[in-house]
Structures are given as structure tokens and as C-alpha cells.
Structure 1
Amino acid sequence: MLALRLVRGGSPLTLLRRLLVACATAVVAFLLLAALSHALAHPQDSSASLVRLVWCAVPLAAAVQFAAAVARTEPGSRSRSALDVAGVGPARVPLLAAVSTAVSALLGSGIALVVYLHLRGQLATLPFDGAAVRLLAAEQPLPVAATLVLLALPPVAAGVGAALATRPRVAPAVAAATAPVGAGGATVPSAVSATGAGGDALAPADVIPQRDEPAFRMTHGPLPAAATLPWGTALIAAGLAMETYASRSPKPLPLSSVLSNSAPGVLGGWVLTAVGLILAGPGLTQLCGWLLSVGRPGAVRLLSGRVLQREARRLGRPLGVLCAVAAGALAAGELYARAPEDGARLLGPLTILGSALVVFCVLASALTAAAETRAFRSSANAALVRLGAPRRVLRGAVALRLCVLAVVLGSLTYAVAELAALPLTS
């Protein structure tokens, strides 16, 4: 009941995010039902139907990631005071997030079922009724058990993802000398008043909110994000090597052969490379922050570098997923440009719908993570303004962070995409 009240009583922005989660899960459920229709229409070609069903895991994973990112921004997962008064401890926050996310996803599954039946021609007197009779195998009766299982899969997966994203974490504390400022209870590390060797004053490195605020609990101390960078690099190298070895053939492999699992070694290499990019995302973000802080940085560089290092885990994982999707899209585009007549067979309405959903969810997850980071740092930014920091310094730090991340991650994404497409086009 409390989870339903949280769903109903959210702010307009929170309700919009939940509606977007419902729309994303609706598309996933529709793609699953479309795969079921293909299996019903082609019982003799079970392998092709299985490939379609397996490829639905990509938009499902993207939708679950977006649902988890939205669950982390829920007011109940960030503001603990009201839940403490209601007797809800930290252990029940994941349960509340899972239930509220599952409710939104269940709404999406219901919408998908209505649209699916409408396009099959089973809901008359409505516009576009029966517009996809052949595509969705309207002449075949739907198995009730399989339909219910497929419709329940997105809500269950989204609820589990939300619960894992909001589970309590214990971050290692950092021993830093702090000095109280103002009456708001905020504290500032000793680097605020330090000066460089040449007399240049260092900018405020970071402002740690008071201990009862969520920002303190979640960001007090840099998490070991760089620990995943070697593993990510190793997986990227292993994936590219595996793809190069598996693609040795007298003629280049077309895109349809890769995506239809006719070349499992190449597809496996792509999957390993994508996982490596996702694992390397937090470490690369922290590395960008370290590069900004090298030497004798000024106010903008120091503030940008410290923020990237502290928020590397929260920002790095969505950015790594974004890099993986962008690299896969660039590699697929390179293969499509070499053989457009072969790739045109893959560009059906369902393929375009699933690809658009993946791109939307990945971009929305990255923007949601950025909004979450901004919300957690609002008290620190306010304290910096009270200390006299000009707002142009804060805006310059944001712009510098975006530029560095775009250059480093964009260059890596382009290089990986070219290396992934090279063995298949040469």
C-alpha cells in the first residue's frame, strides 16, 4: 500500500519518468509478443524464432537499466527522513522501489497487450484495427500461458533491477581534515584553504554535506571505480581477438550472418567487447577526473576533476553502456554501408522499433544519472556559492567535464567500432 501511495503521490517529473518506464516496458512486451507470433506462424523454423526471442533480451536489458536509473531518483530512495518516521528501514527501500517499478512496468505490459490485440484485428471499431494481421500471425490462436509469461517478464525484470539499484551500499570513508563553515552544518575539506607552490589558491575541492543527508552517505569517499578498468580492458581485447579469429573466411561476412547467429564467434566477440566497455566506464570516468587534476590545476579543473573522481561509479556505468551501444551501431553501420542490399533485409518495423527503444533507454539512463548526480551535489554547490565561488566557475566546471568525457569516451568508442568492423570488411 505504501508503494502504491508513493507511485500516486509523486511530483510531475517523477510521474513522467514512471510513464516513460511504462512506455519502455510496453515496447519490450510488444516485441516479445511479436516473437511469439513469428513462432506461431513458422512452426517449422524454430531456430529463427529462437533468435528473434533471444534478441529481445537487448531491449529488455536497456529497459531494465532505465527502470533502475529511475528508481535511484525516486524520492523514497533519496529522502530517508519521511520513511524513517513511517517505520520503513533501509532494508525495505529496495522492496518499495521494486514494487513501484513493477507497477509501472505492469501498466506497460497491459498497454502492449491492448496494442498487440488491436493490430491483430481482435479489437474492432478502433482506428488501424488489424493493420498488422500478417506480421503478427492473426490467424493463429494465442497460447494463454506463453502470453502471460512473456507479459510478466518485463515487470519482474524491472522490479529486480530497481531493487538491486537501490539496495544499501556502504562506501569507505575518507580521512580528511574538515573545517566547519556557516550555520548550515556543511563542512569543507582542508584543500579549500590550501594554496599551491606558486601561491595560486586552489579551488574548493569538494563540499561534504552533513552526515544525515543522503549525499553524505552516498558520496562520502571515492569508490574504487578504477578497479574495473583492467577487467574491462582485458574483455575488450579478448572480444576483438575472438572476433578476428572467428571471422577468418575467404569473403567478408555480411551483417545478416552476424546478427542471425550464423557466425557465433563474431557475435560472441561483440558481446565481450560490449561488456568490456560497460565495465571500463567507471574506471575511464575516474581516469578523466584524475587527468583533470594532474599538475597544478586551477579552480575549474580541480573542481571538475574531483567531481568526476567522486561520481565515477554513478556516472561511469551508464556512460559505458552508451559507449557500447554507440560502438555497436557504428560497427553495424560500417557493415551495412559495405553491403546495403544485405542489410536492408534486417530493417523491418520490429527491428527499427527495438533499436529506437535501445537508443532511447541508453540516452535516458545517462541523462537520469546526470540528473541524479546534480541532485546529490546541490547542497555542495550551494555551499560553494555561499563561500563566494562565482557561478561561472560552476558552469565552467560542468562544461569542462562534458568536453573531456566526450573526447575520451568518444575516441574510445570510435576506435573500438572501427576495430570491430575491420575483420569483417577486409
Structure 2
Amino acid sequence: MGLRVLRGARFAALARWVLVAAASAGTGMLLLAALGWALAHPHRPSDAAVRLVWCAVPVVVTVQFAVAAGRAVPGGWPRAGLAAVGLGRAGVALLAASATAIACAAGSAVALLVFLHLRGDLGGLPFHGAASDVLGGGGSVPLAGALTLLAVVPVSAAVTGAARLWPPRTVSTAPAPAEVSATAPPKGLPWGVALTAVGLAAEVAAPHGHGMPLPGGLGSIAPLALGGWAVATVGMVLAGPGVVHACGRLLAAFRPGALRLLAGRALQEESRAIGRPLGALCATAAAVPAVYDLHRGGRPFGPLTALAAVLVVLCVLATVGTALLEAKRGREPANAALRQFGASPALLRGAVALRAGVVLAAAVPLTALVAALATVPPGR
């Protein structure tokens, strides 16, 4: 059933699934490269474990993108047709999760083929065997270990996607007012600010010296600094919806006109949909100066490190783009009603531009502040 959904998808949805498969293939290649390093260097198990641990970042952003793509698909399905064939909200969640798992599994299969080809297991050694030495060529690949690593992304994306789309358990039959539920402020802003502050404080207090090695020969990082960066990232993701909602409230305050009122109310309603992807984008942008400083210090990126960096950036950008497209599709009924009441296209375009400008005006300074306060003391 999930395969039929993929085959019958429109071009835009099919393009999203292709991107999900490509991201899964890149992440699967990184996981298999860690396995190949362990096969090539059996006397250095700690280095292989460090490489596998650093693969957690690409895995998280790939799963986030796959879940965002899976959540965007059911919005275009006809509810009446799904109900006619007996698919309720639970069935829709399982169907979207299965489609997500199939796309990720296809990418993992491509990663396995590329990995075996670079090792020379499929005949011939590309790049004069340079990749075979790094990936442990010449020996047998533990099939169970390779399949276990490749199953991480499809299983995680399917489970997370089903959990996000699963219908909540209703206690009361009386529905909540739509106006209150749509514009109520998210509750994660105080926690997000607190976690970001704690993470930045941990990074500042981290000692300079040797610690956990960084990928690609970029030196090492103190475990406290690494933990602070992770906590600050989680805090920015949690604070994202609250920041977007606050921007909407500021726009709609102090006797707004039609333009500010439309832009402000739309931001308040879309804060939960675009806030967390925007927070992840800000966290990624805040980490760029530290990575650039390491690269400028004379430590060039290796091919796998460059692949991981490009994969993380592209997955975060694709997640934000998917969330924005989903929010745009959700505004279409309201925009159609506004046009029937005589709203001009210029007014609607102006509201979109005003929303984007206000969010950028809030996100860019906050990201720059976090990037300036964040310190990643590498071991020189």
C-alpha cells in the first residue's frame, strides 16, 4: 500500500521522496563507512566507536526530514475517499509511515550497493582502490551488522512519523474552540531559553584540552563542550515555536491594520508547524562559525566529513522548506475566502513578505548572538 502511495504521488511529493531517499543513502553511507573503518582497523576500536557516534547527527537530521516529508503527504489526500475505503486517522498515520520507511529503505539499499562497489566486492576497484583501503576492502562484510546499521534510519523515521500522526486519545467529546487552539502560545519557549542558556554556559565553562576526537581529523573537543552544544541545540529547537508566535503577537498588537493583522495571525497559527524546523536551522547556522574556525586552523575536511556536513545542511534546509510548503497549503482555504471578500493579491503577497521579514529580523540576531557566545574549544 505504501509503495502504491509513492507511485501515485504528484511530482512535488515524488521529488520530496527522492530527496528523502538521497538523504537516507548519504546517512547509510556514513554508517557503513564507520563499519568499514572498524574492519580496516580492528586494533583501534575506540576510533571506530567515535566515528559511529558522530553519525548520530546526520541520522537525526535525516529522520527529521523524512518525518516532515511524511507529515506533508496526508494533507493532500482526500479525506472522504480515505474514509470510504475504511482508513481513519490511524490508518492514514500507518500509511504515511510505511511510505516513509519505503523511501528510506530504498536509499539505504543504494548506500549498500555503493559501499560494496567502493570496496571492490562487486567487481573492479574504483579510484585505484583508494576507497577500498578506508572501507576495509579485502575482507568479508558482516551482513548482520551492515543491515542493522542501514535499518536505523527507516525504522526510526517510520516510528517517529507514525507517532507524530497518530490520533490523540480524546477524553471529552466537546471540541476545543478553533480560535483558542490555533492562537494559544506554545509552552516550550521558557524551557527552550533555559536549555539554550545552560548549554552555552557549559560550552563556556568547558576546559581547553584533549577530549573526544572530532571527525575528519579536526582535533578534539571536551565532552562538556559537546554536551553543551547538544543541550543548546535542543533548546533552540524548543524555543522556535515560541519565538515565531511572539513575532506574530507583536505584529498583531497596537491597533494593527489589515496587513499586520493578517501577517500576525498567520504567524501565530503556523508557529508550531514552522517553529521547530526554524530552530534547527538557527542551531545549524550558529555552529557554522565554529566549524569554519576549525577548518581555517589548518585541518582540512575529509571526504566523509564533507559529506556529513553537506548532508546536515541540506536536510535542515529541506525540512524548513517542507514545513513552509505545508503551511502555505494550510493557508489556501483562508486565502480563498479572503479573495471572495475582496482582498487584493497585493495584500496577500504583502502579508507573506511581512511575515518573512519579521521572522528573519528576529531569527538572524538571535542566531548571531548564540554563535558569538558559543565556544567550541578544540584540542590544538
> How high is the TM-score relative to the length of structure 1?
0.82
Question: 284, 288, 300: which is aligned to 1:329?
Answer: 288
**Separation in structure 1 between the aligned mates of residue 162 and residue 92 of structure 2, nearest angstrom:** 8
Determine if contact 1:121/1:129 at 8 Å carries over to the other structure: no
TM-score by structure 2 length? 0.91
Q: Distance in 2 between matches of 1:4 and 1:153?
A: 20
| Further displaced range: 285-294 or 125-134 | 125-134
Structure 2 gap segments, 5+ residues each: none
Q: Distance in 2 between matches of 1:53 and 1:172?
A: 47
Report matched runs for 1:267-306 at 5 Å: 267-306=226-265
Equivalent residue for 2:345? 391
- The answer to whether the 8 Å contact 2:206/2:377 transfers is no
Matches within 5 A, 1:137-152: 137-152=136-151
- Would the aligned equivalents of 1:225 and 1:313 in 2 still touch at CA under 8 Å? no
Q: Indicate the percent of aligned positions where both proteins have the same amino acid.
A: 48
Aligned to 1:264, which of 205, 223, 242?
Answer: 223
Q: Residue 33 of structure 2 aligns to a residue in which SS?
A: helix
Q: Which residue of 1 aligns with 2:27?
A: 28
Q: CA deviation at 1:92?
A: 1.7
Write the distance in 2 (CA, Å) between the matches of 1:419 and 1:81: 52
Aligned to 1:196: none
> For the structure 1 residues 172 and 282, does the alpha-carbon distance in structure 2 shift closer, same or farther, using more than 3 Å as the test?
farther
Q: Which stretch has the larger CA shift, 415-424 or 404-413?
A: 415-424
Provide the rounded CA distance (Å) in 2 between the counterparts of 1:288 and 1:76. Answer: 26
Is the helix fraction higher in 1 or 2?
A: 2
Q: 1:239 aligns with which of 193, 199, 208?
A: 199
Aligned residues: 374
CA deviations on 1:60-115 (whole Å, 9 max, x unpaired) are: 11111111111111147753221101001111222111111111111111111111
Q: Does 1:314 align with 2:273?
A: yes
8 A contact 2:213–2:220 mirrored in 1:
no
Q: C-alpha distance in 1, partners of 2:97/2:131?
A: 34
Gaps of 5+ in 1: 177-219
Of residues 159, 182, 186, the one that matches 1:222 is 182
Q: SS state of the match for residue 357, structure 1?
A: helix
Determine the C-alpha separation between the residues in 1 that align with 2:285 and 2:175. 33
Q: CA deviation at 1:161?
A: 2.3
The AA in structure 2 aligned to 1:229 is L
Q: Does 1:375 align with 2:329?
A: yes
CA distance in 2, matches of 1:423, 1:137: 32
Instruction: Work out which of the residue numbers 379, 383, 401 in structure 1 matches 2:355.
Output: 401
Note if contact 2:118-2:125 (Cα within 8 Å) is conserved in structure 1: no
Query: Which structure is larger by alpha-carbon Rg, 1 or 2?
Result: 1
Are the equivalent residues in 2 in contact too, given 1:71–1:77 (CA < 8 A)?
A: no
Report the residue type matching 1:174 in the other structure.
Answer: P
Q: 1:414 aligns with which of 368, 371, 376?
A: 368
CA distance, structure 2, for counterparts of residue 261 and residue 305 of structure 1 = 45
Instruction: Spell out, residue by residue over 1:200-257, the C-alpha distance to the aligned partner (whole angstroms, 9 max, x if none).
Output: xxxxxxxxxxxxxxxxxxxx8326443100000000111111122223x4x8999949
- Residue 4 (structure 1) shift: 2.4
1:95-153 alpha-carbon deviations (Å, 9 max, x no partner): 11111111111111111111111111122369758551122121232111101111211
Give, in whole Å, the separation in 1 of the partners of 2:353 and 2:86: 42
1:388, CA displacement in angstroms? 0.4
Is the CA contact (8 Å cut-off) linking 1:123 and 1:129 kept in structure 2? no
Say if 1:77 and 1:166, in contact at 8 Å, map to a contact too: no
Higher RCO structure (Cα 8 Å, ≥6 apart): 2
Q: Distance in 1 between matches of 2:122 and 2:144?
A: 21
Distance 1:399 1:172, change over 3 A: farther
Q: Considering only aligned residues, what root-mean-square deviation do their CA atoms show, in Å?
A: 2.6
Shift of 1:13: 1.5
Shift of 1:421: 2.5
Contact 2:237–2:279 (CA<8 Å) still a contact in 1? yes
